[in-house]
Structure 1
């Protein structure tokens, strides 16, 4: 079976001594550890749910012969001592799965510099390209307005298309206005993402030479495209795309390619799924739609949304926060323990991999009342906002790709909700695929109607 090294792709050497301090799932780890248990549960998230139900909020489990620590409550996450906040936990995990080491093994100063460049690149591209984000959302809403009221609208297909167009043009420049280039990019993106976190985890990728070859070919083609874009835009006067900011820094060609890969991969999938889940949940509540509409009318009037107006849309922020929480949008993150730390009575040795079981924490009844109910009003409470911030979904520690996704989703909602009503499709059963980003298992449908 698969060893942890295949899942993590040289992620980190975890000290065996961790198991001496923490409650393990089993005192005798086999060569495969708990890998088969994870496979049987269907995903790492589902395994962590059962793990924490059985062993409490601090537990360890085995990838191969190596232990990993998982934290499953706000209380334990608040205690977790890890001074290395220079790396984003989601980015760390994604880079490890892609086999990227630069930015993960350098010194703290280099890592912080790279993080600032990355975040500056995303902020700059949103500022420089906000009219394009608005235009793409208006095009989609215009298309939906032309549908008859009874027509079923496929959220996943349409919103992945919106995310792909938005991310590729903002990240890589105007050449990706060409639909053929976007479709080619989408094909490779899907081939890579479908294997990340699943094919590695359950061992199926290694067992299938054809699948592995398909994945490696897609990754190689994607890397070649990103390197080519960087070379074409180097020295260009126009500085509007994400890649342009990276090119103005001291990053190497390889580092620029890797950061573009992370942003385009994660940016597309997080943006698409945040929008999918937001519209799905809105379709289930006419009350939430009406309340959001009232805020949009009060703040924006008849004007389109602008970047400076977004912070004033507080209820829209609550809707998106509750979407992330209810859908468990990113159910797993990870950090490398920078120095020896302690959670309750449990010592976590230096260089231990610590999993943040965010999907468990986001629906913990000790933190959230009626945790399975979609209720944006819960974020009127300061305690809810603080817990959400602690988990890295708001505030300074927010994943940059999620901040980007929030902006795109806010533009979409502000355009859509003022013109259309969303209706749930009766009889539709939503099943979730909880991998690195929670995705509907099947296509999600709604119907739309014009506002009177």
Structure 2
């Protein structure tokens, strides 16, 4: 009888333990320290919403559980990495994965039809690099003209006039993208404005779609529950696709291959894949890089004057040229520090193709792994005085190596970021030699840290002409 009682108690303990382990609301994802789901169906969606953004949620998560932490998107466990050392362990065996495509597939449930493994991913990256290099080389005078038009407008303003950066630089970004990427059809302001309106609708409602898909386990049709939003989103998306396909068709007969789309048209990608590339890579990060760079310079007089001196030394009275850009090393440091301080891309993701290990933690195959880049970019163990805008930090080899590891420079950097850096360099080299940028007193600029960091509200500056 005693033996049976011992057996019965032992069985009950094992059964309860199994139930606690298997029931989603009572265990951590993948056995890694982290949050239990607050709701069985939604996981930690409400926790993310309560923090205001995924970045703020991850900052708190890693502050509580350390550099390797877990949480739940719906019923799906997710592992987040929040330090350089842990990212280094994970990136090296997974460096061939296209993180952009991972975000689309994992967060949006988007199927690009562009699979094929590491080899094809590398071929696509080379295709984008060649397309962007060709576009910059053949359209650099046009880019310089667009920037000089904007700076000329700023020069005409009274010195005490408040200039809305977001409005002006978004206009520059859209003109640069549409004319350099899609060709001369977008020389008309009406075409640019139309494209911009649809782009904004897709971006804003696309963010809604991302969150609904994440929070509801990707597939429960949350977008369908808001018919007005869905309709607005789909109409804008359809119109953008129609415009892009029309542009692609018109460009097929062009002999002068000067635009980004021309290189895509010569590739082996399907028409749908070409249109998809143009649609989802249409902003090239230009706007956030430019807006944050000008904002930080207006708040940092010493940095602005040091950059002005480099521009005078390297360029003299000549306009910036493509071959001179590599010589503007301090300007590169300014842009690197802009990306770091603004946490330009606070989130990236990869799928765990095979079972992996970070520290002592096992990451199962097919696990979604979040790179909490925003957390890493303000980690005091990696960056001294992480909240200070200090381009001089990139004179140190350790800072450059950490930055490259995160994918913002070197071989890991995406081609689109190089395009954005080039546009931003042309902008800064033109405006800083002609104008002094000044912040508006009393203005507080807060970031909206979603998939890309942008100001929550418009940012204002004043400008003064240099003597």
TM-score (norm 2): 0.89
Q: Could you tell me how far 1:196 is from its partner in structure 2?
A: 2.8
Aligned pair 1:245/2:263, yes or no? yes
- Residue 413 of structure 2 corresponds to 398
Tell me if structure 2 keeps the 8 A contact 1:88–1:399: no
Tell me if structure 1 keeps the 8 A contact 2:97–2:118: no
Distance 2:47 2:209 in 1: 15
Distance 2:408 2:113 in 1: 22
Q: Could you tell me how far 1:344 is from its partner in structure 2?
A: 0.3
CA root-mean-square deviation: 1.8
Unmatched segments (≥5 aa) in structure 2: 1-26, 216-221
Tell me if structure 2 keeps the 8 A contact 1:76–1:344: yes
Q: Can you list the C-alpha shifts for 1:16-67, whole angstroms capped at 9, x where unaligned?
A: x993341231178611100111111111111111111111110111011110
- Residue 340 of structure 1 corresponds to 355
Q: Can you list the C-alpha shifts for 1:79-129, whole angstroms capped at 9, x where unaligned?
A: 115634334323531466565423553233333222221221111111111
Tell me if structure 2 keeps the 8 A contact 1:188–1:221: yes
After superposition, residues 167-206 of structure 1 pair within 5 angstroms as: 167-202=177-212, 205-206=223-224
Aligned pair 1:127/2:142, yes or no? no
Aligned pair 1:115/2:125, yes or no? yes
Distance 2:156 2:417 in 1: 31
Q: Could you tell me how far 1:181 is from its partner in structure 2?
A: 0.7
Count how many residue pairs are aligned between Structure 1 and Structure 2. 433
Tell me if structure 2 keeps the 8 A contact 1:81–1:341: no
Relative to structure 1, is the Cα distance of residues 100 and 62 closer, same or farther in structure 2, using a 3 angstrom cutoff?
Answer: closer
- Residue 303 of structure 2 corresponds to 288
1:32 corresponds, among 42, 50, 55, to: 42
1:228 corresponds, among 232, 235, 246, to: 246
Using CA pairs under 8 Å that are at least 6 residues apart, name the structure with larger relative contact order, 1 or 2.
1
Unmatched segments (≥5 aa) in structure 1: 1-16
Relative to structure 1, is the Cα distance of residues 95 and 342 closer, same or farther in structure 2, using a 3 angstrom cutoff?
Answer: closer
1:217 corresponds, among 235, 244, 247, to: 235
Q: Could you tell me how far 1:263 is from its partner in structure 2?
A: 1.9
- Residue 420 of structure 1 corresponds to 435
Distance 2:276 2:392 in 1: 39
Distance 1:83 1:123 in 2: 28
Relative to structure 1, is the Cα distance of residues 91 and 131 closer, same or farther in structure 2, using a 3 angstrom cutoff?
Answer: farther
Distance 2:463 2:38 in 1: 55
After superposition, residues 161-172 of structure 1 pair within 5 angstroms as: 161-172=171-182
What's the secondary structure of 1:325's corresponding residue?
Answer: helix
Distance 1:114 1:402 in 2: 16
What's the secondary structure of 1:350's corresponding residue?
Answer: coil
What's the secondary structure of 2:362's corresponding residue?
Answer: strand
Distance 2:261 2:126 in 1: 14
Tell me if structure 2 keeps the 8 A contact 1:430–1:441: yes
TM-score (norm 1): 0.92
Larger Rg: 2
